[in-house]
Amino acid sequence: MVDRYGTDVLSSDWRKPPRGRTTEVVVEHGMVVEDATTGFCGEVMIIEKDLGMMILEDRRLVRRSFPFGPGFLLDGKPVNLRPPSAATKATSGRTASGSRAVAGARARVALPSRIYVEGRHDAELVEKVWGDDLRIEGVAVEYLGGIDDLSSIVDEFASWPDRRLGVLVDHLVPGSKETRIAQQVSGRPHVLVVGHPYVDVWQSVKADRLGMAAWPVIPRGTDWKHGICEAMGWPHRDQADISRAWKHILGRVDSYADLEPAFLGRVEELIDFVTAP
């Protein structure tokens, strides 16, 4: 006699993923996957490439970390998850800024126009996300090491004809020192000064990319970067520690999707300004 209801459903190992061909899939932020062993299903929030891990968040906002590899389900199908790589980005057809990649294009000779940013970390972040686009456009990005002498820098730049200067300023909020300095050079046709509201460019990286709900608030009188490192439990004895902290933060940035809109918009605005006919 044939059992019309089939065999005992508990006689097999329910923890094993369903049978079928496993396909390789590159992990992306926002992807929803299920761990076949535990049944935990969540959205990919953080990709820890250097640790070989990713962090998923379920609908109850519970987070768990999992290693890359097989044993996951995507849309009910078994997949082998692997982290994004430089090669993956190169074949995606898009640059890190989201622009369409131009295959085989050579970098243009730098235009006379320039984009200035406050510090080295700002320049490194702009290069990582917009570097491909800037080379195509022929735009050079330089860092100033602070904007205390911005007025004299702008005056010197203006002595050369047919050049435009875009300046990206940290902490451009009402009443700040940066705002007062920026106002001294505003209104000049060849200069555009824009800024983001963050104390430091570190904050332009989305907090959840570092496993935080929000960036820590550092009290006045405390060096901001040292305060952040202390709040995060990172070493902060000297500049080498601060540099390592920044490299850790920068390593969490794969594309424009990892940055706050208030920063993204200002950089795009500067690129449009210095490349306008």
pLDDT digits (tens, 9 = 90+) for 206-263: 999 888 899 999 998 999 999 999 999 999 999 999 999 999 999 888 888 899 999 9
pLDDT digits (tens, 9 = 90+) for 23-80: 888 898 888 999 999 999 998 888 877 778 888 888 877 888 899 989 999 988 999 9
Does 129 reside within a domain? yes
Count the domains in the chain: 3
Does 64 reside within a domain? yes
138 in the same domain as 271: yes
Contact 122, 172 (CB under 8 A): no
Q: Domain containing 98 — which CATH number?
A: 3.40.50
Does 230 reside within a domain? yes
Residue 9 has pLDDT above 60, yes or no: no
Listing from the earlier edge strand, what are the strands of the sheet with 41-48?
23-26, 77-82, 69-74, 32-35, 41-48, 53-57, 63-67
Q: Which two tokens stand for residue 251?
A: 């390593």
157 in the same domain as 267: yes
pLDDT digits (tens, 9 = 90+) for 104-135: 555 454 567 889 999 999 999 999 999 888 88
Does 67 reside within a domain? yes
240 in the same domain as 182: no
Does 38 reside within a domain? yes
Which of 44, 67, 84 is at the close of a domain? 84
243 in the same domain as 178: no
Which of 84, 102, 129 is at the close of a domain? 84
220 in the same domain as 187: no
Using a pLDDT cut of 70, give the percent of the chain over it. 82
Q: Looking at the whole model, is its pTM more than 0.85? A: no
115 in the same domain as 225: no
| Domain range for 236 | 206-252
DSSP string, 181-204: HHHHHTT-TTEEEEE-SSSSGGGG
